[in-house]
Amino acid sequence: MKTINVTDTVQYIGVDDKTIDLFESQYVVPNGVSYNSYVILDEKTAVMDSVDARGTKEWFANLEHALDGRTPDYLVVNHLEPDHAGNIQRFMEKYPKAQLVTNQRALSMLPQFFSMDMSGRSVVVKEGDELSLGSHLLTFVMAPMVHWPEVMVTYEKTEKVLFSADAFGKFGALDADEAWTCEARRYFINIVGKYGAQVQALLKKAKELDIRFICPLHGPVLSGDLSVYLEKYDIWSSYRPEDEGIVIACASVHGNTKAAAKELAAILEEKGAKKVSFFDLARDDMAEALEDAFRYDKMVLASTTYDAGLFPGMESFLARLKSKNYQKRTVGLIENGSWAPMAGKLMKDCLSQMKEITLAEPVVTIKSTLNAQSREQLEQLADALLN
Ligand code: FEO
């Protein structure tokens, strides 16, 4: 059982999950993940979101501890994805007098997840609606597509707390000994990254609020100088490069394409590149490769031609880049093909569908292994990337 005071009357009652193999069935989480939930204690008590079904027992124990014999009046549902909504029905069954507070979009999606009819026990809220708990006043702010269409965030005016749903969340259990930025960036780019415009819209609304604490649905409660986090979110959601550096991502069958990519990395470092970040797309965490692709201003893609197409790791990586709106970057290409190299053309075609991509020339062509001519091309590509 674990509850943490955010303030005297706002308590954290979430749970850590350190045994999940893959978050959302695709993301490795070496330090686990937290499913956050909060209780506001006032004349009326409000529970802010539930947790994943994996944390049911612990969450109810935390909730009971925080309530200390009281009965909850409201369950505010900011986001309906199962990692937060997994216990809505159990909660409503356990506390038959409690009311569900959410927006119409979420309410209409509820029957897709739960058999219980909650329409008669719901308070439907829209943009700007308020709900008084006594001395605390909740204001509801719609945040569609950050990260699902029904998402809203809730601002508590008295203690200046923003319950921000997935926004400002990160991978990692609460006791993970790691900085916020790296795992918050990997989380953002991979999970919310596609919806930059919607995050920008939320940031605009957040600017109008006086915020002391940000209480997200994953990761630590943020306090102190919040401009640090807001600034990162502004950069990430506007797709601006955050740092100067070159990502090299390779997809190699027998290692020759990888050797060429490694050689380029060495040349770049020798010529004074500030930062080179290298990924083998068959072996390294693709979510981290994607994170770095958005973090840095330049990238080199190196792929073998395979079945007249791209080797699967590169095909998948490009699909993810496109899906997350990769843009505003300089990209170089290395292709390999023992008899009919096609990878360069295919990667170029894919990049042409993305906004504001500058191609660094030349495209390096390898036929099986590097030779004097392709080594010369690597040198030229390195110069183009550094100039
Ligand atoms: Fe943490 Fe979109 O759920």
Rounded CA gap, 363 and 269, in Å?
20
| CA 301 – ligand 1 centroid, Å | 30
Matching residue, tokens 């630590």: 220
Task: Say if ligand 1 is within 6 A of residue 170 CB.
Answer: no
Regions of the chain short of the pLDDT cut 50:
none
| CA 144 – ligand 1 centroid, Å | 13
Rounded CA gap, 268 and 249, in Å?
14
From the CA of 191, give the closest atom in ligand 1: 2
Task: Say if ligand 1 is within 6 A of residue 79 CB.
Answer: yes
pLDDT of residue 273: 97
| CA 166 – ligand 1 centroid, Å | 5
DSSP 228: H
Task: Say if ligand 1 is within 6 A of residue 192 CB.
Answer: no
Share of the chain above pLDDT 90, in %: 97
Q: Which residues pair with 99 in a beta bridge?
A: 74
pLDDT of residue 1: 67
pLDDT of residue 279: 98
Q: Which residues pair with 357 in a beta bridge?
A: 329
Q: What is the pTM of this model?
A: 0.96
| CA 52 – ligand 1 centroid, Å | 10
- Compute the chain's Rg from CA coordinates: 24
pLDDT of residue 387: 87
Q: Closest Cα to atom 3, ligand 1: which residue?
A: 81
pLDDT of residue 2: 76
SS3 letters across 83-95: HHHCCHHHHHHHC
